[in-house]
A and B are shown apart, each in its own frame.
Chain A
Amino acid sequence: MNYLKRSRLYLTHKKGQSLLMLLIMSAILVFVLSGIIIQNAAITATNNVTKSAGTTITVSANRDKMFSQMRSSSSKTKTLTTPTVANTKIAKAGNLSTVAYYNITNTASVNASSFDAVSTTTGTSSMGGGNMPGGGGGMSANSGDITVTGVSSTAHTATFTSNEAKLVSGRNIKASDANTKNVVIEKELATDNSVKVGDTITIKTTATSAKKLKLHVVGIYKAKTSSTGMPGNDPSNTIYTSYTLPASISGTAGKSSTVTYTLENSAKEKATTKQIKNIIASSAFSVSSDDASYQQLLQPMKNVQSFAKKIVWLVAIAGTIILGLIIILSVRTRQREIGVLVSLGESKLHIVGQLFTEMFMILIGAMVIATLLGGFVGNKVGNQLLSQQQTTSVSSTTTSGAPGGGAPSGNMPGGKTGGGMMTNQSNTSAANKKALKTLNTSITPSSVIKLGGMGLVIIALAVCVSAISILRLRPKDILIGE
């Protein structure tokens, strides 16, 4: 172990050279560590995105099938009938381990009774409510001035999650509101009719033998979207309630027409879609998934991850070459010292060992510096990188057209379906903000261990390269000359 002492003596004697090596090694390790922690942060963020991107699978009426059934009907009056699926099947699919939660959506069109609807005209549609504006998402064949949108939970409804609607008073509709007549109404509707939380309002069904239903107001929300001027289309005229109430109004109690499953893990989207299809087992329904948010969030993360990986490799390779060259040059200036040691009987392997030990001692110092600075540099570089990647991603999305429009949401104010585009854009924007915050470039013990490993490999390779010149040295040529 004599060479350990020699290494220490050499480094302390050659202070300037040691300091220079320390700075070079520190610079290399700072970038390697930055790369490692950015990579780790990107992996963590990717995992978070996978879990929290909110990929959804929507089970809704197969419109092609609906229309083909309507056309093939022998009845004189062609009626578009929205298919339904038993809530037990929906719950079974909802119990899949990959599903985080699900939201059933049923809509019905009714008329206001104890209050006045906002800027709407009453009327009927010969085709029925179906998926037409104001038609109530497909449960009812008749159209009224109020759309009753039944959901499992308003908090999980796209209109609310995308902040198109926001609860301003009272509470949301929850799963426990099933089989009750609790409702959440829009602020304008409440103000115009002086309705407050806790009040009761009455509606009238659109059926020939209209029935009156008393609803209990448990919350008031504010809709951001404005009316399109179409009858029944004003967002203020949408009343949110439990999914059981519209089904009951439409005479399909215990069944529902649309359900959206939000996944626990976006990566399981394909497998879950298949499982849900098997459970629903009906060609009258289409099962479609929307992982646009996931994909849009995933891409920048993957790019950051890939870039960080490249940083690590490039810096490691460049570092090895730089250190290798420096050591080779240093070996040339230390030829006499090496010759003396060889003449004393020191093995060349021990001389290489001394070089390695010197580099190792510098590595320890450089690792301390890198650990102190790497977090700061990694954070700056990582966030800059992420910001650029997200700008590129959003710009590319805008150019190519926002994803969405695929799955009918069926829960837009006014009973509009096909609101996917708007909903998805909002979701993506919200998720982008969320993802930006999740790039946490902190230094962990594992990243320091990884850095140490990389550092060891770098100095081992650099010393190995320079060892060739040591092994080739002939002490006679160095020490004795005539």
Chain B
Amino acid sequence: MLTVKNLAHWYGKTGKPLYENVNLSFEDAKVYTIIGASGSGKTTFLAFIAGLDKPQSGEIFLDGENIEKIGATNYRKHKVAIVFQQYNLLAYMSALDNVLTALAVTDSEHKNDKQYVLDALAGVGIEAADAKKNVQQLSGGQQQRVAIIRAMLVDANIVIADEPTGNLDDENSAMIVKLFQNFAHEHHKTVIIVTHDTKIAQQGDVKIKLADRQFIAS
């Protein structure tokens, strides 16, 4: 379980506060959607829980352990996986190599298991022939599915997705959300999706709205 305690952040040292006194808990086997207007600070919040940035105040705990104690690199390596709106795949590799690279970096037990990765990619509609192509030759939807498989196979406790359907059509968006739901429910993982799309936000097990510097769960 990921717990955020008394988190506060503001622009500059004495600037306008982005949010104050945020206390949230993210449980296993659930999909959380965080919706908020542009500039509301939802992506900044994502950066804090993903270990990519530090809040100016407050603490974040994973299963009771402060993520600062775990160490940012170690936390990113073993505890959290991130899916970006721009897919952020390594452009000079195939889909297969992208996933294998992530497995190698995170020191996964499947780090050299090509078949394991090919099967997982096939499960989201990317067959071996496509999996071995350079990722830039794949469509946006395919690339996002590769990015999601990459996040899922590294065996992180938490998967954080930043506008994962932002560049996709409805059909692909639905498929991506379904993937996250299955992953959270079947593998008992926590999935946190940051979005501005209300349709996507509605599909979360827990919906969190960020407005007026407050996170309101429903």
Interface residues of A (CB under 8 A from B): 2, 5-6, 9-10, 13-14, 336-337, 339-347, 474-476, 479-482
Contacts and interface: CB of A to CB of B under 8 A. Distances in A.
A2 B46 contact: no
A476 B53 contact: yes
Interface string B41-55: 111101100101100
A340 B52 contact: no
A342 B92 CA distance: 17
A347 B111 CA distance: 17
A351 to B, nearest CB: 10
Contact of B52 (A13, A336, A343, A347): A343
Contact of B44 (A5, A340, A347, A482): A482
Contact of B134 (A5, A13, A474, A481): A13
Contacts of A344: 76-77, 101-102, 105-106, 154
Given A2-B111, A9-B93, 12 more contacts: A13-B92, A13-B134, A340-B88, A340-B90, A341-B90, A343-B88, A344-B77, A345-B74, A345-B78, A479-B52, A479-B82, A480-B43
B128 interface: no
B59 interface: no
A337 B162 CA distance: 17
B23 to A, nearest CB: 22
Given A9-B97, A344-B77, A345-B78, A475 B92 contact: no
A13 to B, nearest CB: 4
A14 B92 contact: yes
Closest 3 CB pairs of A and B: A345-B77, A13-B92, A2-B104
Interface of B: 38-39, 41-44, 46-47, 50, 52-53, 73-78, 82, 84, 88-93, 97, 101-102, 104-106, 111, 134, 154, 162
A344 B72 CA distance: 11
Contacts of B53: 474, 476
A355 to B, nearest CB: 14
Q: Which of B75, B93, B154: most chain A Cβ within 10 A? A: B93
Main secondary structure of the interface of B (DSSP, over half): mixed
Given A2-B101, A345-B74, A482 B89 contact: no
Contacts of B73: 345, 347
A479 B88 contact: yes
Contacts of B43: 480-482
A345 B106 contact: yes
Main secondary structure of the interface of A (DSSP, over half): helix
A10 B76 CA distance: 23
Contacts of A481: 43
A341 B105 contact: yes
A106 B88 CA distance: 94
A482 B39 CA distance: 6
Nearest to A345: B77
B105 A346 contact: yes
B101 A475 contact: no
B92 A10 contact: yes
A135 to B, nearest CB: 91
A342 B52 CA distance: 9
Contacts of B104: 2, 5
Contacts of B42: 482
Q: Which of B42, B44, B92: most chain A Cβ within 10 A? A: B92
Nearest to B147: A340
Nearest to A475: B52
Nearest to A481: B43
A347 B77 CA distance: 9
B88 A339 contact: yes
A14 to B, nearest CB: 6
Nearest to A348: B73
17 contacts: A2-B101, A2-B111, A6-B90, A6-B101, A337-B90, A342-B76, A344-B77, A344-B101, A344-B106, A345-B73, A345-B76, A345-B77, A345-B78, A346-B77, A474-B52, A476-B52, A479-B52
A340 B76 contact: no
A5 B97 CA distance: 10
B74 A480 contact: no
Contacts of B90: 6, 337, 340-341
A480 B84 contact: yes
A341 B77 CA distance: 10
A13 B97 CA distance: 13
A249 to B, nearest CB: 94
A21 to B, nearest CB: 15
A337 B41 CA distance: 25
Contacts of A337: 90-92
B190 to A, nearest CB: 17
Nearest to A11: B92
Contact of B89 (A10, A13, A340, A346): A340
B6 to A, nearest CB: 21
Nearest to A10: B92
A343 B76 contact: yes
Contacts of A345: 73-78, 105-106
Contacts of A9: 92-93, 97
A311 B205 CA distance: 69
Contacts of B105: 2, 341, 344-346
Contacts of B89: 340
B82 A343 contact: yes
B164 to A, nearest CB: 13
Given A344-B102, A345-B77, A13 B93 contact: yes
A14 B90 CA distance: 12
A342 B84 CA distance: 14
A343 B105 CA distance: 10
Nearest to B84: A479
Nearest to B81: A344
Given A2-B105, A340-B88, A344-B154, A480 B52 contact: yes
A346 B105 CA distance: 6
A305 to B, nearest CB: 45
Contacts of A341: 90, 105
Contacts of A474: 52-53
Q: Which of A341, A342, A347, A482: most chain B Cβ within 10 A? A: A482
Contacts of A475: 52
B50 A343 contact: yes
